[in-house]
Amino acid sequence: MTSNQTEIQARLTMSAAEICTQHLRDLCSVTRDELTLSLDDMSVDFTRQPVTASIMQQLCLLAEVSGVKEFQQQMMVGQAVNISENRPVLHCGLRAPERLQSEEWKQLSGFAETIRADDTVRHVINLGIGGSDLGGAMVLKALAHDCDGPDVYFAGNIDPAALGDVLKHCTPEHTRIIITSKSFTTAETLMNAALARDWFAKAGVDADTAFIAVTAAPEKARAYGIESNKIFSFSDGVGGRYSVWSAVGLPVMIAIGADKFSSFLRGAHAMDQHVMTAPFADNIPVMMGLLRVWHRRYLNRSSYAIIPYSERLSRLPAWAQQLEMESNGKRVGRHNELLDKPAAPLIWGEAGTNAQHSFFQFLHQGIDEIPLDILLPLSPSNNADDPFWKAHHMTLVANAVAQAEALAFGTDNLDHPHQHFPGNRPSIIISWQRTTPYALGRLLALYEHVTIVSGFLFGVNSFDQWGVELGKARAIALEEALKTDGSFSDFSPAAAHLIKRARDIIG
Ligand code: F6P
């Protein structure tokens, strides 16, 4: 760390102590126009944040002296910024306009359109988990009003109920299965694929013609028996949680069509251009990334909620959870050093207004002050002229804004403490006109850049995920011990007891 960084961090620590003595009521008693940024129809309102103009300047300075810009440039030109795996980070290139001229795009989009035009295909099931599931499932729901292809389903969990529930809606002779797995080794996905094969076999339908693969390991898909013209690959430099833009988006493309998918890519590209060109003080992802660091490192807030006021975006918190927590949930820095301060916050959330009727009590009156993002499309995605839909949507908007105000400003009732709302709970409102494919692409790219900027400032490598490996290895060892009736001496007596009990019950 340079002396500049140390000095700015010390100043920020002092500013954090000072800001804790001020209430958002005071901070917001004057107009804070400089704390609202926009990009086309997207507006991001930071006014209810525990910051002053001077704090924002110090945070921007921290980004500058830490080398955020240089890091972003290295990433964009394909340097191996994923240093523990010695790989470049290539997902932004997937939404660059040049891709739409590429052979890869022509094959992928051509295939999606062929499936859409084929009347015999009525159901498409994506088998994948984590980054091979969450992005696609979330986008499919977000753009439900744009879906005009065959019905598309996602099954991820190794619990057979996940795929079992989907299969109930499908007929084998009209179904295609996409195995989506970057590594093509993930146990959940391969076991679900085996379950699907069994389903076809029991119906007397040839499974081989039904299977398609999306992977960064095409040779493994070929070895599995999938025909080469039905294998769509992407680069190792595209991390699973950043991969919805790649061939991993195939199920979405089949549902909405290649044109709309290209519009989704264009929206993301607009955010890439913004993040690379806007000065830090006007740069939406950089400001959000800095505030994430501000809350986590300086105000010691370990949790961060994302509340989309949109039923269609109800899966976004789950996607954002993997994005941030798998990227930045680390205690070791980029150069193998132990971090002396925490990195990623715990990300969680649920759609509003539903969330208001479950955990908002905790947000308003709990002891912890939890910052949140409120996501707000300002008009419905469809039926925008229907008077009932308009009225409903206005009520949704009113609720979102009301919650931000109530959380920030509270209301005093010191005679009845249980009716006292302390306020001072910060939020960011991100609003846009309507959730089109373009607007959605722009929003998702925003969150990706927030994770990358904050991860860099936390000092971690946002592109690896070694922490998932131990659990996988233990599950394999446990199953192996069961199968071979071997020894459970590597496991605790409680683990051995439970697994044997399950075996006795399952039979
Ligand atoms: O176990 C974690 C993980 O590796 C994620 O990073 C990834 O998104 C998911 O599993 C699925 O991996 P794959 O796409 O290789 O099947």
- Protein residue closest via CA to atom 5 of ligand 1: 130
Q: Are residues 326 and 423 in the same domain?
A: yes
Among 103, 112, 13, which residue's Cα sits nearest to residue 62? 13
Q: Which of 129, 154, 319 to mutate to test the pocket of ligand 1 (most atoms within 8 A of CB)?
A: 129
Q: Are residues 423 and 498 in the same domain?
A: no
Task: Output DSSP code: residue 315.
Answer: T
> Does the residue 84 lie in any domain?
no
- φ/ψ of 6, rounded to 5, equals -60, -40
Catalytic site residue from 169, 472, 497, 500: 472
Q: Is the CB of residue 196 below 6 angstroms from any atom belonging to ligand 1?
A: no
State the pLDDT at residue 146.
Answer: 97
Q: Which of 132, 234, 243 to mutate to test the pocket of ligand 1 (most atoms within 8 A of CB)?
A: 132
State the pLDDT at residue 487.
Answer: 82
State the pLDDT at residue 238.
Answer: 98
State the pLDDT at residue 128.
Answer: 98
Residues 6+ apart with CB under 8 A from 141: 312, 313, 314, 315
3 vs 274, 334, 336, CA distance in Å? 30, 19, 21
> Does the residue 17 lie in any domain?
no
Task: Output DSSP code: residue 489.
Answer: T
Q: Are residues 165 and 238 in the same domain?
A: yes
Among 48, 46, 59, which residue's Cα sits nearest to residue 23? 48
Task: Among 261, 289, 312, identify where a domain stops.
Answer: 261
Residue 112 token pair: 């999606």
Q: Are residues 238 and 379 in the same domain?
A: no
State the pLDDT at residue 430.
Answer: 98
Task: Identify whether 353 is preceded by a cis peptide bond (ω within 30 of 0).
Answer: yes
C-beta separation of 355 from 310 below 8 A: no
SS3 373: strand
Residue 395 token pair: 């009520």
Residue 214 belongs to a domain with what CATH number? 3.40.50.10490
Q: Are residues 376 and 473 in the same domain?
A: no
Bridge-based pairing state of the strands 36-39 and 42-45: antiparallel
Residue 382 token pair: 């469809």
497 membership: H or E segment, kind and range? helix 493-506
Task: Output DSSP code: residue 297.
Answer: I
Q: Are residues 410 and 484 in the same domain?
A: no
Among 19, 27, 24, 31, which residue's Cα sits nearest to residue 55? 19
Q: How many helices and strands, by DSSP H and E, does the chain display? A: 18, 11
State the pLDDT at residue 170.
Answer: 98
472 is known as an active-site residue: yes
Catalytic site residue from 357, 416, 418, 483: 357
Q: Is the CB of residue 475 below 6 angstroms from any atom belonging to ligand 1?
A: no
> Does the residue 497 lie in any domain?
yes
> Does the residue 20 lie in any domain?
no
Give me the residues paired with residue 332 across strands.
Answer: 338
State the pLDDT at residue 486.
Answer: 74
Q: Are residues 112 and 226 in the same domain?
A: yes
Query: Which residue blocks in 206-245 are alpha helix, DSSP H?
Result: 218-224
> What is the C-alpha separation between 146 and 255, in angstroms, rounded?
8
Residues of the chain falling short of pLDDT 70 = none
326 is known as an active-site residue: yes
12 vs 52, 98, 290, CA distance in Å? 11, 42, 12
Other residues' Cβ atoms within 10 Å of the Cβ of residue 23: 16
CA of 182 to the centre of ligand 1 (A): 7
> What is the C-alpha separation between 456 and 429, in angstroms, rounded?
24
Q: Report the chain's C-alpha Rg in angstroms.
A: 24
Q: Is the CB of residue 134 below 6 angstroms from any atom belonging to ligand 1?
A: no
Q: Are residues 319 and 333 in the same domain?
A: yes
Domain range for 169: 91-261
> Does the residue 71 lie in any domain?
no
Matching residue, tokens 């499908």: 170
C-beta separation of 358 from 473 below 8 A: no
Q: Are residues 405 and 488 in the same domain?
A: no
Other residues' Cβ atoms within 10 Å of the Cβ of residue 28: 16
> Does the residue 424 lie in any domain?
yes
Q: Are residues 298 and 423 in the same domain?
A: yes
> Does the residue 234 lie in any domain?
yes
Among 266, 260, 245, 264, which residue's Cα sits nearest to residue 116? 260
Task: Output DSSP code: residue 454.
Answer: H
C-beta separation of 321 from 348 below 8 A: yes
Task: Output DSSP code: residue 411.
Answer: B
Task: Among 261, 292, 327, identify where a domain stops.
Answer: 261
357 is known as an active-site residue: yes
Q: Are residues 285 and 166 in the same domain?
A: no
Query: Whole-prediction pTM value?
Result: 0.97
Q: Are residues 282 and 419 in the same domain?
A: yes
State the pLDDT at residue 3.
Answer: 85
Task: Among 200, 227, 261, identify where a domain stops.
Answer: 261
Number of domains comprising the chain: 3
State the pLDDT at residue 384.
Answer: 87
Query: Each residue of 135-166: b (16+ CB within 10 Å) or e?
Result: bbbbbbbbbeebbebbbbbbbbebeeebbeeb
C-beta separation of 395 from 39 below 8 A: no
Angle of CA points 330, 79, 437, to nearest 5°: 75
Q: Is the CB of residue 131 below 6 angstroms from any atom belonging to ligand 1?
A: yes
C-beta separation of 45 from 51 below 8 A: no
C-beta separation of 81 from 114 below 8 A: no
> Does the residue 243 lie in any domain?
yes
Q: Is the CB of residue 215 below 6 angstroms from any atom belonging to ligand 1?
A: no
